[in-house]
Amino acid sequence: MDTRKHKTNLTNILIDIYKDATLASHLGFKGGTCTMLFYKLPLFWLISYEKGEHNIKVEVSTRDNPYNHYNNHPFYGVTIKTLAIEDIIAHKMVAFTERPSLANRDLFDIHFLLGTEFAASINYDVIKSRTGKNPVEFYNFLLNLIKKIDAKNILEGLGEVLTDSQKDWAKVKLLVELKGLIQRQIDTVAT
């Protein structure tokens, strides 16, 4: 995959959307692409750029969470309203627990996000509103789910977007380090 081409295409789409003042005032950018472009998530999801027609999916949700916070970011001549990273982390962890089947990319994302300075300021109101759990209850629930994961299958759905060195690390360290980061969160919020 040509990551430069991928990033250029993504940024062109965002710029085109946010040039429209009517749209821009009502949209908040969130999710994996937001995290990659604005918060340095080190992954590019697999996209094929072959000859012919290209289909792009832009998802618009009208769901609102009263606990979400947004920040304005200057971005190549436009301003993009993005979900605050503290909210993205909370939503990403909850989404992992709600998925009907395991998405290993979530493990990578959660590991990355809990390894940032923003892990100290996660929006626990989002977690409480979506799960009914306080932070310690939620982290224990998350930790128990992760303890059930078999490391042999860790690259399924993830390996194709990792570099060779990231694959080597993920096979050996991803789950171990993620459990440690979650335990640190438990210890931090419990005090």
Distance CA 63, CA 15 (A): 23
- The whole-number pLDDT of residue 54 equals 61
Same domain, 26 and 39: yes
Asked if pLDDT for residue 102 goes beyond 80, the answer is yes
Same domain, 69 and 102: no
Same domain, 25 and 71: yes
Question: Pick from 37, 65, 84: which residue ends a domain?
Answer: 84
Per-residue pLDDT of 3-20, as tens digits, reads 788 788 889 999 999 999
Instruction: State the pTM of this model.
Output: 0.88
Same domain, 109 and 145: yes
DSSP 153: G
Distance CA 159, CA 167 (A): 6
Per-residue pLDDT of 108-167, as tens digits, reads 999 999 999 999 999 999 999 999 999 999 999 999 999 999 999 999 988 777 889 999
Distance CA 161, CA 4 (A): 14
Average pLDDT, stretch 6-35? 89
Range of the domain at 63: 3-84
What residue type is 13 in one-letter code?
I
Q: Please count the structural domains in the chain.
A: 2
Q: Which regions of the chain does DSSP assign to beta strands (E)?
A: 70-75, 78-83
